[in-house]
Structure 1
Amino acid sequence: MGPDPNWTDDNDFGGNLDPISQEAVTWFATIHADEVAKADQVAFRAWLRRDERHRAAYAEVERLWSGAAELPIVQARRRARQMAITRRTLGKGVLAAMVGGGGWVAYRQHPFADYRTGTGERRTVTLADNSTVEMAGATALSADFSSHLRLVTLHQGEAFFSVAPETSRPFVVEAAAGRTMAVGTSFNVDYISDDDVRVTVARHAVNIRVGAADARLDAGSQLTYNRESIGVPQSIDPASELGWRDGRLIFLSQPFGRVIASLNRWRRGRLMVMGAALAARPVTLIIDLEKSGNILATLEEALPIQVVNVTPYLTLVFDA
Structure 2
Amino acid sequence: MAVRERSLPDGGRSRLERRRGFRRHNLDKISREAVAWFAIMHADQVAKSDQLAFRAWLRRDERHRVAYADIERLWSGASELPVVKSRRREKRIAVTRRTFGAGMLAAMAGGGGWVAYQQHPFADYRTSAGERRTVRLADDSSVDMAGATALSVDFSSKLRLVTLHRGEAYFSVAPDTSRPFVVEAAAGRTMAAGTAFNVDYVSDDDVRVTVAQHAVDIRVAAEGARLDAGSQLTYGRESIGPPQAIDPASELGWRDGRLIFISQPFGRVVASLNRWRQGRLMVMESALAVRPVTLIVDLQKSGNILATLEDTLPIRVVNVTPYLTLLFAA
C-alpha deviation, 1:64, in angstroms: 4.9
2:67 maps to amino acid: E
Q: 1:204 to 1:196 in 2, by over 3 A?
A: same
Q: Distance in 1 between matches of 2:115 and 2:324?
A: 14
C-alpha deviation, 1:56, in angstroms: 5.9
* Partner residue, 1:60: 67
- What secondary structure, in the 3-state scheme, does the structure 1 residue paired with 2:143 have? strand
C-alpha deviation, 1:300, in angstroms: 1.5
C-alpha deviation, 1:243, in angstroms: 0.6
* Partner residue, 1:2: 16
* Partner residue, 1:240: 250
Q: 1:174 to 1:312 in 2, by over 3 A?
A: same
Matched, 1:289 2:303: no
1:251 maps to amino acid: F
Per-residue CA deviations over 1:176-228 (Å, capped at 9, x if unaligned) read 11100001111000001111110001111111111111111111111111111
Matched, 1:219 2:229: yes
C-alpha deviation, 1:121, in angstroms: 1.0
* Partner residue, 2:81: 69
C-alpha deviation, 1:100, in angstroms: 5.0
2:158 maps to amino acid: H
- Runs of 4 or more, structure 1, over 4 Å off, are 49-52, 95-100
C-alpha deviation, 1:125, in angstroms: 1.1
C-alpha deviation, 1:90, in angstroms: 2.0
Alignment of 1:20-31 (within 5 A): 21-31=31-41
- What secondary structure, in the 3-state scheme, does the structure 2 residue paired with 1:2 have? helix
Indicate conservation of the 8 Å contact 1:250/1:286, yes or no.
Answer: yes
2:16 maps to amino acid: G
Q: Which moved more, 1:174-183 or 1:306-315?
A: 306-315
Q: Which moved more, 1:185-194 or 1:44-53?
A: 44-53
Indicate conservation of the 8 Å contact 1:144/1:151, yes or no.
Answer: yes
- What secondary structure, in the 3-state scheme, does the structure 1 residue paired with 2:177 have? coil
Q: Which moved more, 1:152-161 or 1:47-56?
A: 47-56
- Give the alignment's Cα RMSD to 1 decimal: 2.4
Alignment of 1:230-309 (within 5 A): 230-309=240-319
Q: Distance in 1 between matches of 2:40 and 2:213?
A: 40
Q: Distance in 2 between matches of 1:204 and 1:5?
A: 49
Q: What's the % identity of the aligned pairs? A: 64
Q: Distance in 2 between matches of 1:178 and 1:207?
A: 10
* Partner residue, 1:81: 90
Q: Distance in 1 between matches of 2:33 and 2:177?
A: 55
* Partner residue, 2:209: 199
Indicate conservation of the 8 Å contact 1:201/1:222, yes or no.
Answer: yes
Q: Distance in 2 between matches of 1:287 and 1:125?
A: 25
Match of 2:325 among 308, 315, 318: 315
Indicate conservation of the 8 Å contact 1:272/1:316, yes or no.
Answer: yes
Q: 1:307 to 1:140 in 2, by over 3 A?
A: same
Q: Distance in 2 between matches of 1:49 and 1:61?
A: 11
Q: Distance in 1 between matches of 2:20 and 2:219?
A: 50
Per-residue CA deviations over 1:225-277 (Å, capped at 9, x if unaligned) read 11111111111111110011111100011111110110011111111112222
Q: Distance in 2 between matches of 1:31 and 1:184?
A: 44
Q: Distance in 2 between matches of 1:246 and 1:54?
A: 51
Structure 1 gaps of 5+ residues are none
Q: Distance in 2 between matches of 1:270 and 1:27?
A: 16
Indicate conservation of the 8 Å contact 1:116/1:139, yes or no.
Answer: yes
Match of 1:184 among 176, 182, 194: 194
How many correspondences in the alignment? 305
* Partner residue, 1:154: 164
Match of 2:107 among 71, 90, 101: 101
TM-score for both structures, normalised by structure 1 = 0.86
Per-residue CA deviations over 1:39-61 (Å, capped at 9, x if unaligned) read 32645413314554489635521
* Partner residue, 2:96: 90
Per-residue CA deviations over 1:90-135 (Å, capped at 9, x if unaligned) read 2343344455534663322322211111111111111121211111
Alignment of 1:37-48 (within 5 A): 37=44, 39-40=45-46, 42=48, 44-48=50-54
Q: Which moved more, 1:220-229 or 1:20-29?
A: 20-29
